Amino acid sequence: MTEGKYWNPVLETLPREKLRDLQFRKFQRILRWAYDNSPFYHRLYREAGLEPGDVKTFDDIRKVPKTEKSQLRAIQGKPPFPYGEILAVPLEQVTEFRQTSGTTGQPVYHPETWQDWEWSAESWAYALYAQGYRPHDRIFMPFGYSIFIAFWAGHYAAEKIGCEVIPGGVLDTEARILKMQELKATALMATPTYVLGMADTAKKRLGIDAAKDLNVRKITAAGEPGALIPATKKRMEEAWGAKVYDQVGATEIGHWGFECEAQAGEHILETFHLVEVEDVETGEPVTKPGGQGSMVVTTFDRLAHPCIRFDSKDIVEWSTIERCECGRTFRLFNGGVIGRADDITKVKGVLLAPTAIEEVVRSIPELGDEYQVVVTKKGDIDEIALKVEILPEHKRETKSIEERLVNQLRLRTNLRYDLEFHEYGDLPRAALKSRRFTDLRKQAH
C-alpha cells in the first residue's frame, strides 16, 4: 500500500456502509445548499413538491428530480450573465470561466470559484496519486490551455502532489516531442487520439521511437474512452513503452473516475461524487455486478454550479471485482464509459455500442488507428459502413485482414458491415477528440 498526502487510508478504504453514510450526509448538504442559493434548483424542487428535509434516508435520494444538459442550456443567457439562474454564489465570487467541449450541441458555460477550483485539483490529485505520480515525476502537458477544462485541473493536481509540470501549450506536435526528449519528461496527459497521434508523428517526421527514445513511462488519458478499450490501451502502451491510465469526467460533473495502478477498471471517486446507475428503459436502479445502465451523478462540495442527480447519458457497467488489489473500497466500472445513451443505437434491430467497433479495429495490428462508421437507411433497411486504413507494409494482405475483420465484427457486434479499405493517412484526423461515428438515418426523415 502506498503512503503520502493523497493516499487517505481512512476515506479511501472505508467499509461500504460507512462510505454510504458519508455520501448521504454530503448529499443532504449540497441539496440544502442548492435549494437555498440557486434559483434554478429552488424552483425545480418547489415544483416537484420537495423540500431538502424530505430526504431522510439514502433511498429518498431517488425522489429528488434529475437534471440534464438541455435544462442547463435553457437557463443560460438569463441573468446573471452568462451562467443564468443556476449560479449559487454571487457573481463576484466567480474566478474561472470554462465551457463544455462535447462534440454535439451548444456548449454549456461553467463558472468556478477559487474554492471550487481547489476542489477540482484536489480530486485529480487523488487519482494521479493512485496512478503512481510522485514528486520526482516531470510531466509534460501537450494541450492548448484554453476555454475547455481538458487537463487544466490535471496540471494543478500534479503541482499539488509536488511533481514538476511542463506546460506544452502553444508548441506544435513536433516541438512538443523534442521538448519532452530534451527534458526527459517521465509522464504526460492527453486524449487517446493525441497519444497515438504523437507517437506516429515522432516516428514519421522525426525518426523518434517514443518507446525507446523517450522517457515517458506513465500516461494519463482522458477525453475519450480509449484507455479502457483493451486494444486501444495496448496500442498506446506499446507505442510509448508506458503504462496508460484512464481518467474520466465532464465539465458539469467534475472528474469522477480513475484507473489505479492495478488497472482493474474505473474507480469511482466516491468521496467526491455519488454515482447512481439506472436501467435505460425502466429507470430502475442497477446495482448488481455486471449490470449496465445510464449514469446519474451528484457532485459534493462544488458550490458555484451545483450538480445534483445529473443524468449524464453515459452508459456504464458495474465491475464484478469486489475489492481492488490497491486497497481502495471505491466501486469499479468495467471499461469506464462504454457508450453514450445517444450513441448506443439500434442498427438492423441489434443494440450497438460504437466502442465495440473500436475494440475490433484496433485489435488488428495491420490496420491504422483511424476508422469511421456511417449508418444510413436504404428504404426500410439500415446499412452500416466501416472505413479503415491498411498500413502500407500490409497492403498485399487485404484479403486475410478482411476475413479477420468480418469475423471479429460479427462476433463482437452481431452485424455485417460494408467495408471500405483506405490508404494509410486518408481518413480525417482530429487533434483532440474524434467523431468517428455518424448516424445519418435521423436526417433522412
Lookup: cell for 207: 525518426
CB of 267 to Zn ion, least distance (A): 5
Whichever of 10 and 444 has its CB closer to Zn ion, that residue is: 10
Whichever of 219 and 260 has its CB closer to Zn ion, that residue is: 260
- The single residue listed with the C-alpha cell 488519458 is 221
3-state secondary structure the chain: CCCCCCCCHHHHCCCHHHHHHHHHHHHHHHHHHHHHHCHHHHHHHHHCCCCHHHCCCHHHHHHCCCECHHHHHHHCCCCCCCCHHHCCCCHHHEEEEEECCCCCCCCCEEEEEHHHHHHHHHHHHHHHHHCCCCCCCEEEECCCCCCECCCHHHHHHHHHHCCEEEECCCCCHHHHHHHHHHHCCCEEEECHHHHHHHHHHHHHHHCCCHHHHCCCCEEEECCCHHHHCHHHHHHHHHHHCCEEEEEEEECCCEEEEECCCCCCCEEECCCCEEEEEECCCCCCECCCCCCEEEEEEEECCCCCCCCCCEEEEEEEEECCCCCCCCCCCCCEECCCCCEECCCCEEECCEEECHHHHHHHHHCCCCEEEEEEEEEEEECCEEEEEEEEEECHHHHHHHHHHHHHHHHHHHHHHCCCCEEEEEECCCCCCCCCCCCCEEECHHHHC
At CA 260, angle to CA 153 and CA 370, rounded to 5?
75
Whichever of 262 and 406 has its CB closer to Zn ion, that residue is: 262
Whichever of 326 and 386 has its CB closer to Zn ion, that residue is: 326
CB of 82 to Zn ion, least distance (A): 39
Contact criterion met (CB below 8 Å) for 364 and 396: no
- The single residue listed with the C-alpha cell 445513451 is 341
Whichever of 280 and 321 has its CB closer to Zn ion, that residue is: 321
One-letter identity of residue 67: T
Whichever of 71 and 263 has its CB closer to Zn ion, that residue is: 263
The two most distant CA atoms of the chain are separated, in Å, by 70
Whichever of 250 and 260 has its CB closer to Zn ion, that residue is: 260
Whichever of 22 and 262 has its CB closer to Zn ion, that residue is: 262
Cα–Cα dist 193/236, whole Å: 10
CB of 266 to Zn ion, least distance (A): 10
Give the footprint of Zn ion on this chain (CB under 5 A).
Answer: 260, 262, 324, 326, 328
User: What are φ and ψ of residue 390, in 5° steps?
Assistant: -95, 135
CB of 265 to Zn ion, least distance (A): 8
CB of 323 to Zn ion, least distance (A): 9
Contact criterion met (CB below 8 Å) for 11 and 122: no
CB of 224 to Zn ion, least distance (A): 22
Whichever of 210 and 337 has its CB closer to Zn ion, that residue is: 337
CB of 7 to Zn ion, least distance (A): 12
CB of 242 to Zn ion, least distance (A): 19
Whichever of 160 and 328 has its CB closer to Zn ion, that residue is: 328
CB of 129 to Zn ion, least distance (A): 12
Lookup: cell for 258: 480513475
Whichever of 110 and 328 has its CB closer to Zn ion, that residue is: 328
CB of 324 to Zn ion, least distance (A): 3
CB of 130 to Zn ion, least distance (A): 7
